[in-house]
Structure 1
């Protein structure tokens, strides 16, 4: 078995990629970081651990992420792959665990893969980088949910200690 870890991501604005780089630093082991949107069927047997992170946009994980999961469901299960979801709702204490995240519940209902190890992390809000339509829509969503509405602000809600704890606790690949 390789000593390399595989970190797969589905990211809208790049914050999930930043979390993956933080996981790589935390593990202090060789990692390959790949975009699931650029991958098809994969063989995970050569990796020490497999971690997949996906972001929410407008209440949904991407279709490409669901396609990747469907195409790799057996291999993901055999590899004991870990999963985490990144979303702004997780900035609230009552929405930041797999058990309390509506997005994880929806994922588990829709997904043929049922990961045994999961995490939920708050993402980033970067109004200045969004296109006009996205900025207005996200501002409306934040107003409805009691969040930041000042479109001149960039905020990171991620609890980096929680990310580090998740990374250190991710299970090893159980394939032989």
Structure 2
């Protein structure tokens, strides 16, 4: 069995999550593809397709929507799922780590012709030392407004790996 694992990432957390999911898939040959380097693909040659994308400054990368537009018919024919990675999902007590409580998923579903049957939302990571100075300043400002970590010397991983593993099980059962 073959699984296509497509990702759109900035600092690598979405790809790291994708690799964690791949480790949970028993008996699957997994092919990883960066959506930013992908033009066209035949998705129908895979048993399952997973798309993961991260949020930066409140938006998913335009390459994600371009990929969906170019592959919508195939996405609707195969067993496919989607997950979104963002820092807002760290607010578990407010339900922002669920498709129903995530403003980013609501926006995605409004903008996208693809309406996946399985959707995940995962908290990402804060990698201050890796950011360009302007990004570090902007993200620190956003984190200050939202009650998050503001020490720019830190790297903080908010991802709940148990939740990722549970999503992987659901994806495998699609």
In 2, the alpha carbon distance for the partners of 1:44 and 1:66 equals 16
Report what 1:138 is aligned to. Answer: 139
* Deviation of 1:41 (Å): 2.7
Report what 1:9 is aligned to. Answer: 7
Report what 1:40 is aligned to. Answer: 39
What do the CA deviations read for 1:116-166 (whole angstroms, capped 9, x no partner)? Answer: 110000000010110100000000000011100010110100000111111
* Deviation of 1:25 (Å): 1.0
Report what 2:104 is aligned to. Answer: 103
Contact 1:37/1:68 (CA < 8 Å) preserved in 2?
no
In 2, the alpha carbon distance for the partners of 1:172 and 1:32 equals 18
Report what 1:56 is aligned to. Answer: 55
In 2, the alpha carbon distance for the partners of 1:43 and 1:114 equals 19
Number of matched pairs: 171
SS state at 2:59 partner: coil
Which structure features the higher share of strand residues? 2
Aligned Cα RMSD in Å?
1.2
Is the alpha carbon distance of 1:59 and 1:137 closer, same or farther for their aligned partners in structure 2, counting shifts above 3 Å?
same
Contact 1:80/1:172 (CA < 8 Å) preserved in 2?
no
Superposed, 1:140-159 pairs within 5 Å as: 140-159=141-160
Report what 1:85 is aligned to. Answer: 84
SS state at 1:150 partner: coil
Contact 1:9/1:35 (CA < 8 Å) preserved in 2?
yes
Gaps spanning 5+ residues in structure 1: where? Answer: none
SS state at 2:44 partner: coil
Contact 2:2/2:47 (CA < 8 Å) preserved in 1?
yes
Report what 2:64 is aligned to. Answer: 65
Detail structure 1 runs of 4+ shifted over 2 Å in the superposition.
none
Match of 1:25 among 8, 23, 35: 23
